[in-house]
């Protein structure tokens, strides 16, 4: 078949063609995912409810896009023989995006809510899913050949950032429009148009732009699979004969099943059970997307440096914890902590989803052999689709089954003249569904651990890198030095729940950002010390209430906070001694017990402060002198051992210098320590020398 030149595959791509193609791929992702923000998730669920959907129909609606995916199978052979992935993608993308037009017109044609309206919605979604199946087979193979493997993580993360920014604006705007429209239009018919109009406008703008963006993307010519042409059975047998890829396929199926038991019903739960408005639901979605944007560049860089599997393990663990957290958003009704907990869960879900979106696809791409990408990726995609189709169908049945069931644990205390009682656990309706999804998610993580990736790193290494990211570090090597590993003991913590260690790491990142921002703001005025103390103290007191006083979490937060303060203090050219005093005082006051002085926290503060100043380009020797003096003052104020406090700061300063991996930095710290009698003696003892200056 003779195709127009713009649709023909290219035997080779030069650098200019590649960069142009990647830019157009970013445009395509931005407009396509912008439309997706108002045609999926909470907004589509709310539209379906307005048309008359029940729990089971919500489950079917969520499952339909995945039920049709077996139609990828015949498309695999067609694509391998014709190689026209761009042409196929262009036609199918145009069809599925424009199908939103008749979907949006349903309330203009039929009375709502009504069984006919809901049946028509399900019919159009089924047709759309039917067309999407061959698109996925062509699209995934095209992207694998177009995007260079060495930058996959960072590129897809950057693409998702642009798309998420657009998605935030559109989702909030659509939600606000729906609420305003419903307040001014009485009756279910008029109210349903509040959802239909944004979908219609999006389809006629973003929907048309999506296939147009594909025209600018070149298609590399396909590499013939080993052995030449083959049958459908042989093509599908290849990934199943690969033991490593077979484990990945099994994990993807179970993970999609566990996730989709619960996730499609989050919006329904907030709308019907908690009673939130559509705009509030979309605002929470925007919160999740904002945290997604913040962490996409972090996960993207880490995927390229550390491999995709480690990041996937970390982020899946965190998302499992998020699913569990939904159980406690009602007890059993909306209560004081419902909204704060929903905000926290959406933040953590955004962090986890960012890593999953980048790492999951990258891992599937990397493990697919060259020349067999279409078959391998189709098998991986089918595994996800089967799980994602079965999940909401089972979820809808579970939700209806548990709707009138209740489980409560009551704790009561009574005396002669008073009584007290509360319920630490109160499950009803959707709570059971979230609990089942949590348990299945925990069991599924064991499958992911069996997947092998070349150059993979452990979950503990990923957590160390996450904490390093919280310190705004320079680019690090794939395998950080032993000194850095010793500096961040997060891997030695044994948490009672999966994902809790990741939540602590994320908290450390956020505290570092807050400390950095607080210090920058403070050092712009003459009240540097006072503002810094209050800024850090407010952040750390809140963290202490969550993590305990002298827990390992507190030590990690102390490092993160003092690092941010040291870095910002140098950048704003503040007096380094004042910043060190303020950091030490704020951390010890917030995280140490009121009746004890903690040398462990002094060590954490000193390490973070010296590390932060050095990485910001400051003089580590000056930072060492400042933190030694601050440690001595803090000990005097607390009536504690001054020498012990100074020695803790001295040891930490040397460890921080070694973590920078710079001989010059180490020498500057040693020179600074030599000027203090206590730390000088410690240097002599530790090095077995009897006199003289620093080596």
The model's pLDDT over 555-596, given as tens digits with 9 standing for 90+, comes to: 666 777 777 777 766 666 667 777 777 777 766 666 655 445
Each residue's pLDDT tens digit, 364-376: 888 877 766 667 7
Count, in order, helices (H) and strands (E) of the chain: 29, 2
Quote the Cα angle for 489-567-587, to 5°: 55
What pLDDT is recorded for position 474?
35
Stretch 192-207: mean pLDDT: 90
What pLDDT is recorded for position 207?
87
Each residue's pLDDT tens digit, 1-47: 566 777 777 777 788 888 888 899 889 888 888 888 888 877 888 88
Cβ(157)–Cβ(26) below 8 Å: no
| Alpha helices, DSSP H, located in 403-478 | 430-449, 459-470
Could you say which DSSP state residue 220 is in?
A: B
Report in angstroms the alpha-carbon separations of 331 from 25, 52, 296, 420.
46, 28, 33, 17
* Cα–Cα dist 53/559, whole Å: 51
Q: Which residue has the higher pLDDT, 58 or 592?
A: 58
Report in angstroms the alpha-carbon separations of 336 from 283, 330, 341.
19, 9, 9
Structure tokens at 104: 């949006």
What pLDDT is recorded for position 548?
42
* Cα–Cα dist 548/530, whole Å: 25
What pLDDT is recorded for position 640?
83
Cβ(326)–Cβ(341) below 8 Å: no
Each residue's pLDDT tens digit, 133-183: 777 777 777 887 888 877 777 787 788 788 888 888 888 888 888 888 888
Stretch 266-288: mean pLDDT: 82
Q: Which residue has the higher pLDDT, 463 or 619?
A: 619
Sign of the CA dihedral running 662, 455, 143, 168: negative
Each residue's pLDDT tens digit, 441-478: 888 888 888 888 876 666 666 766 666 554 443 333 33
What pLDDT is recorded for position 620?
87
What pLDDT is recorded for position 204?
92
Cα 233–chain centre separation: 37
Query: What angle, 0 to 180 degrees and rounded to 10, lies between the N-to-C axes of helices 599-615 and 620-638?
Result: 160
Report in angstroms the alpha-carbon separations of 183 from 6, 50, 174, 285.
49, 14, 14, 22
Confidence check: pLDDT of 481 > 80? no
CB-based burial of residue 278 (10 Å sphere; 0-12 exposed, 13-18 middle, 19+ buried)? buried
Ramachandran quadrant class, 240 (left: phi over 0; alpha: psi -120 to 50; beta: rest)? alpha
Domain ranges in the chain? 13-223+232-402, 460-687
* Cα–Cα dist 84/223, whole Å: 13
Confidence check: pLDDT of 692 > 60? no
Report in angstroms the alpha-carbon separations of 272 from 34, 44, 58, 430, 437.
26, 15, 13, 11, 20
* Cα–Cα dist 568/623, whole Å: 13
Cβ(595)–Cβ(544) below 8 Å: no
Q: CB within 8 A of 638, min separation 6: which ones?
A: 588, 597
What pLDDT is recorded for position 201?
92
The strand pairing partners of 425, in sequence order, are: 409
- Phi and psi angles of residue 439, each rounded to the nearest 5 degrees, phi first: -65, -45
For 13-223+232-402, CATH gives: 1.20.1250.20
Most confidently predicted of 91-105, 297-311, 542-556, 595-609: 91-105
Confidence check: pLDDT of 103 > 90? yes
Q: How far apart are the first and last CA of the chain?
A: 76
* Cα–Cα dist 672/548, whole Å: 34
Per-residue buried b or exposed e for 446-483, using 16+ beta carbons within 10 Å of the residue's own CB: ebbeebebeebbebbbbbbbbbbbbbbbeebeeebeee
**Residue 457 half-sphere exposure toward CB, CA atoms < 13 A:** 20
Cβ(264)–Cβ(21) below 8 Å: no
Stretch 198-223: mean pLDDT: 87
What pLDDT is recorded for position 318?
85
């Amino acid at each position: 078949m003779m195709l127009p030149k713009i649709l023909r595959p290219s035997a080779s791509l030069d650098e200019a063609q590649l960069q142009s193609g990647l830019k157009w791929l970013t445009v395509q992702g931005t407009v396509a995912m912008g439309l997706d923000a108002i045609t999926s998730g909470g907004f589509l669920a709310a539209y379906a409810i307005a048309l008359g959907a029940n729990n089971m129909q919500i489950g079917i609606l969520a499952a339909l896009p995945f039920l049709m995916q077996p139609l990828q199978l015949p498309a695999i052979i067609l694509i391998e023989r014709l190689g026209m992935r761009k042409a196929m993608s262009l036609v199918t993308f145009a069809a599925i995006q424009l199908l939103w037009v008749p979907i949006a017109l349903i309330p203009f044609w039929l009375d709502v809510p009504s069984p006919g309206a809901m049946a028509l919605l399900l019919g159009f979604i089924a047709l759309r899913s039917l067309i999407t199946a061959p698109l996925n087979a062509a699209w995934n193979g095209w992207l694998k050949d177009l995007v260079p493997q060495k930058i996959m993580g960072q590129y897809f993360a950057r693409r998702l950032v642009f798309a998420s920014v657009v998605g935030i604006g559109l989702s909030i705007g659509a939600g606000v429009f729906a609420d305003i429209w419903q307040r001014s239009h009485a009756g279910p018919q008029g109210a349903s148009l509040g959802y239909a109009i944004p979908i219609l406008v999006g389809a006629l703008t973003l929907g048309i732009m999506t296939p147009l963006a594909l025209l600018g993307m070149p298609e590399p010519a396909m590499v013939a699979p080993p052995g030449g042409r083959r049958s459908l059975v042989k093509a599908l047998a290849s990934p199943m004969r690969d033991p490593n890829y077979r484990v990945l396929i099994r994990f993807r199926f179970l993970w999609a099943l566990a996730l989709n038991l619960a996730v499609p019903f989050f919006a329904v739960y907030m709308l019907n059970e908690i009673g939130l408005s559509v705009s509030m639901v979309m605002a929470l979605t925007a919160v999740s997307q904002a945290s997604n944007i913040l962490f996409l560049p972090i996960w993207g860089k880490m995927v390229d440096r550390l491999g995709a599997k480690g990041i996937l393990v970390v982020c899946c663990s965190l998302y499992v914890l998020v699913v569990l957290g939904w159980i406690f958003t009602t007890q059993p009704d909306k209560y004081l902590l419902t909204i704060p907990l929903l905000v926290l869960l959406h933040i953590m879900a955004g962090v986890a989803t960012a890593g999953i979106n980048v790492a999951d696809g990258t891992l599937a791409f990397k493990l697919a052999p060259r020349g067999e990408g279409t078959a391998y990726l189709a098998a991986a995609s089918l595994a996800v689709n089967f799980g994602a189709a079965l999940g909401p169908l089972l979820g809808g049945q579970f939700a209806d089954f548990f709707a009138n069931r209740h489980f409560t644990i009551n704790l009561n205390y009574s005396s002669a003249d008073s009584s007290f009682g509360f319920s630490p656990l109160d499950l009803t309706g959707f709570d059971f569904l979230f609990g089942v999804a949590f348990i299945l998610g925990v069991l599924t993580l064991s499958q992911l651990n069996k997947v092998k990736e070349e150059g993979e790193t452990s979950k503990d290494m990923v957590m160390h890198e996450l904490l390093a990211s919280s310190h705004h570090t320079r680019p690090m090597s794939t395998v950080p030095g032993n000194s850095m590993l010793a500096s961040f003991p997060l891997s030695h913590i044994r948490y009672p729940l999966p994902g809790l260690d990741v939540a602590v790491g994320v908290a450390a990142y956020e505290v570092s950002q807050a400390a950095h921002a607080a210090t920058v703001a403070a050092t712009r005025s003459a009240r540097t010390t006072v503002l810094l103390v209050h800024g850090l103290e407010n952040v750390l007191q809140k963290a202490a209430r969550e993590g305990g006083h002298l827990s390992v979490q507190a030590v990690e937060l102390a490092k993160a906070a003092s690092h941010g303060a040291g870095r910002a203090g140098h950048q704003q050219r503040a007096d380094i001694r004042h910043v060190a005093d303020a950091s030490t005082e704020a951390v010890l006051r917030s995280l140490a017990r009121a009746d004890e002085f903690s040398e462990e926290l002094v060590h954490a503060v000193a390490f973070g402060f010296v590390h932060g100043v050095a990485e910001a380009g400051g003089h580590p020797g000056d930072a060492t002198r400042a933190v030694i003096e601050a440690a001595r003052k803090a000990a005097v104020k607390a009536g504690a051992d001054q020498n012990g406090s100074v020695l803790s700061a001295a040891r930490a300063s040397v460890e921080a210098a070694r973590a920078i991996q710079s001989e010059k930095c180490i020498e500057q710290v040693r020179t600074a320590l030599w000027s203090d009698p206590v730390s000088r003696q410690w240097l002599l003892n530790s090095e077995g020398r009897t006199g003289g200056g620093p080596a």
